[in-house]
Amino acid sequence: MARYGLTIDLGRCTGCYACVVACKSENATRPEVSWIRIQEEEAGEYPEVSRRYTPVLCMQCGTMPCARVCPSSAIYMGDGGIVQIDPDKCLCQETCPCLDACPFEVLQVNRGKKAYFPDYPVPSDKEAYENHRDGVVEKCNLCSQKISAGRLPACVQACPTQAMLFGDRNDPNSALAKAISSGRARDLKEGLKVNPAVVYIED
């Protein structure tokens, strides 16, 4: 059985935000909701100073700490090991225990403006934004709709430096599995033992 995931090479990431823009374009998330964030860190002292950029998205945890606290069983593991949220079952509204349970702080609730330009709606945009209902928790699903069509996730496709590599972790012949087995890949928060499908490579 496939388990889809990513490696993110931090040595290649330039913090260009192409992945963030591509994600919003593909999934039409609300103005205050982003399924990817770029974490910026500065290291060293002048004049030897460098910046590191870390894209943070749903890690597609194998243990799913968010699902364990979901009162309505809205969070589940779908095809390819992708962690999904059923919007019809999500009952959070104001109280969302899954947000606090996620150690990576990537779950968000739909609140506020529904579209960037609500007074001048484009029909296709209006329909896309209305798919994101008030009070429903959302997060990255690795663009499962694109994967089902045999295409790459939007973030991977848009990355100009090819810092993101998508594939099947369970296929030993995949480029992803080989990258992970190289010994250079690590979890974002290794001490948590949540068995993420998204890992990072550092030089």
Q: Which amino acid is at 21?
A: V
Task: Give the pLDDT of residue 94.
Answer: 65
Q: How much is the average pLDDT of 152-181?
A: 96
Residue with tokens 């993101």: 164
Full set of structural domains in the chain with CATH:
4-201 (3.30.70.20)
Burial 114-139 (b: 16+ CB within 10 A, else e): bbeeeeeeeeeeeebbeebeeebbbb
- List pLDDT tens digits, range 4-42: 999 999 999 999 999 999 999 999 999 889 999 999 999
Report pTM.
0.92
Question: Which of 174-177's residues contact partners 24+ apart within 8 Å by CB, and which partners?
Answer: 176/5, 176/6, 176/7
At 124 the pLDDT is 66
CA 142, 143, 147, 148 torsion-angle sign: positive
Q: Long-range contacts for 172-178 (Cβ within 8 Å, ≥24 apart)? A: 176/5, 176/6, 176/7
The overall average pLDDT reported for the chain is 92
Distance CA 26, CA 149 (A): 14
Q: Minimum mean pLDDT among 54-68, 77-91, 116-130: which range?
A: 116-130
Q: Rounded distance, CA 91 to CA 102, Å? A: 17
Q: Find, among 6, 45, 1, the residue nearest to 152 by Cα.
A: 6
Task: Give mean pLDDT, residues 104-124.
Answer: 82
Mean pLDDT in residue range 91-120: 86
Residues 50-65: tens digit of each pLDDT: 899 999 999 999 999 9
Q: Which amino acid is at 35?
A: W
Supply the pLDDT for residue 113: 83
Report the pLDDT value the prediction gives residue 116, as an integer from 0 to 100. Answer: 78
